[in-house]
Amino acid sequence: MSSPLFSSKLRKTRSYSNSGSTNLKTLLNKNEQSCDTSPKVKRAVLESLKSRSWNRYPEAESSLLNELVAAYAGVAADQIALGAGAASLLGNLLNYFAINGWQIIFPEPSYAYFNHHCKAYNIPYVSWVLDGELQYDIENLPELTEKTVLFIVSPNNPVGNTIPEDKLRFLLKKYPKTRIILDAVYQEYGKNNFTPLINEYENLLVLRSFSKAFPAAGLRLGYLCGQARVISQYKKLVLPYSINHFSQSYAIKLLSTPDFLETELLNIEKTMVLRTQLYNKLLNEFNASQLRVFPSEGNFLLIQFASKGYFNDVTIELDKCNIEVLNTSNHKKLEYSIRVSIGSENEMKLFYQCIKQTFKNGTNDDH
């Protein structure tokens, strides 16, 4: 028998998916927005889409879309590169640096795609493990060299922690030859916007997305920000025509409609209020012998239960309540934990009542 086409490491790697169940009514597992794009905007997008020639490839680089995205991000049009989702941009970067022999460092626990992609492509990497409070600690940072690329996620999924600006600036200044790539797809929900720092530091790239702050996860559009001469080189790694007609029509409509943008900014503020409310309720209702909820600057909260029994009982109860959350227990340091997306006010009430009812019923913390 001939050798298998794919390596044993790839065959052992689980598929990267978080599809959830279509039978569950309350989906709080993917950090999507709960409310869909309005019918008015959808109709306008469809009209725009109908006017395009579907038999032709989309524009390789849409100048209008580039300008609109750049204006939204507060950078120049030649300082961004578009991609079919932030993960595709990350994949390009990981592959390029790995092929060229760079040391790759990323935080743990953090975005599961890093670990998955590196295992699937047999890419060696080093972990920057968060401290006991799940914060970035420079004392724990592996040694950086002139051929190191350091990925930092801030706000960090699934934890919700961020890197302080003074620490980020310290790293950028001390290691000017090290490439630092900041995954900031949850930036709109945090306190800091680090994108303008690209004008100060050539070794900084900032990754952004439309999947979290807008009701546009189906849009599949991400963008990378950096100094113009760095971005011009990165664009050589991108497949042409990767932003399809639908994505271009959708994004152009969203970004050129002031009312839509104003509404979404209000929705972001509402999400942040609901996040704080849920955090405070969990903090005040439960003690450390039951669960721990972590502060977050994303559109989600991480909850870690004190025992396997509590974790099992809560996940069973959530299933009974038709609520889907993300099980994050396979992450380093996150045993018996879940990540819940911040949804609508009613969804947050339902989630909280479900957690509260589980402990009210009594849990078996021995199993």
Structural domains in the chain? 8-36+260-361 (3.90.1150.10), 53-257 (3.40.640.10)
Q: How far is it, in rounded angstroms, from Cα 178 to Cα 148?
A: 5
Q: Which of 107, 140, 155, 130 is nearest to 295 (CA)?
A: 155
Residue 78 or 22, more confident: 78
Backbone angles phi, psi at 10, to 5 degrees: -65, -40
How confident is the prediction for the chain on average, in pLDDT? Answer: 93
Cβ atoms within 10 A of the Cβ of 232, count?
13
CA dist list (Å): 22 to 225, 316, 322, 323, 324: 35, 17, 10, 11, 10
Q: How far is it, in rounded angstroms, from Cα 118 to Cα 98?
A: 9
Alpha carbon 298 to its chain's center: 9
Q: How far is it, in rounded angstroms, from Cα 165 to Cα 150?
A: 16
The conformational region for residue 31 under phi > 0 = left, psi -120 to 50 = alpha, else beta, is left
Query: What is the side-by-side strand order in the sheet with 326-327?
Result: 291-293, 300-305, 337-341, 326-327
The residue type of 91 is G
Q: Is the dihedral of CA 341, 347, 351, 356 positive or negative?
A: positive
Q: Does residue 178 contact residue 149 with C-beta atoms inside 8 Å?
A: yes
pLDDT of residue 100: 97
Question: What is the tens place of the pLDDT at every residue in 233-278?
Answer: 999 999 889 999 999 999 999 999 998 889 999 999 999 999 999 9
SS3 153: strand
Cβ atoms within 10 A of the Cβ of 190, count?
17
The residue type of 335 is E
Residues in a beta bridge with 225: 80, 206
SS3 149: strand
pLDDT of residue 23: 59
Question: What is the tens place of the pLDDT at every residue in 273-295?
Answer: 999 999 999 999 999 999 999 99
Residue 100 or 365, more confident: 100
**Lowest model confidence (mean pLDDT) among 22-26, 60-64, 115-119, 175-179:** 22-26
- Please compute the mean of the pLDDT values over residues 178-201 and round it to a whole number: 97
Question: What is the tens place of the pLDDT at every residue in 326-367?
Answer: 999 999 999 999 999 999 999 999 999 999 999 988 755 544
Question: What is the tens place of the pLDDT at every residue in 12-53?
Answer: 777 766 555 555 589 999 999 988 988 988 999 999 999 999
